[in-house]
């Protein structure tokens, strides 16, 4: 595999800054998972993120007592779009907070617009 086979990553909104604010072990885990995605593979910790669109997945990373999520889209053109990254704080168990879902939906639409600019 050479550099031309690696899919570029596009960070939407403040997703990159959010990941950079996570603990070092979490950042390393997310980085390794995103590299798998760039190589066309599905990381073991990735699962579909329901409610937005097909091809939107999330990487779930647990560290100490916290859970971190990184949501990305793979079916938009020839790039991987990282839509949102956050520390899970929902009081409703596994359910993602509605504000986070709304942000992911907005950023997915933004990624669609961004992809049209690349064409």
In Å, how far are 11, 38, 58, 73 from 117, measured between CA atoms? 15, 21, 25, 17
Domain 3-118: top CATH class: alpha beta
Rounded to 5 degrees, φ, ψ at 79 are: -130, 160
Global pTM reads: 0.90
Full pLDDT tens readout for the chain, 119 residues: 555 689 999 999 999 999 999 999 999 999 999 999 999 999 998 999 998 999 999 999 999 989 999 999 998 988 999 999 999 875 556 678 888 999 999 999 999 999 988 76
β-sheet bridge partners, residue 86: 69
What are the tokens at 57?
A: 């997945």
Query: Exposure of 2 by Cβ count < 10 A (0-12 exposed, 13-18 middle, 19+ buried)?
Result: exposed
């Amino acid at each position: 595999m050479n550099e031309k086979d690696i899919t570029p990553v596009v960070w939407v909104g403040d997703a990159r800054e959010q990941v950079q604010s996570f603990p070092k072990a979490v950042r390393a885990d997310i980085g390794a998972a995103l590299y798998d995605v760039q190589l066309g593979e599905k990381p073991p910790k990735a699962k579909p993120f329901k409610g937005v669109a097909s091809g939107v997945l999330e990487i779930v990373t647990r560290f100490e007592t916290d859970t971190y999520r990184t949501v990305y889209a793979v079916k938009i053109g020839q790039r991987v779009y990282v839509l949102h990254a956050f520390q899970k704080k929902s009081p409703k168990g596994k359910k993602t907070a509605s504000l986070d879902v709304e942000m992911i939906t907005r950023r997915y639409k933004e990624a669609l617009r961004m992809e049209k600019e690349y064409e």
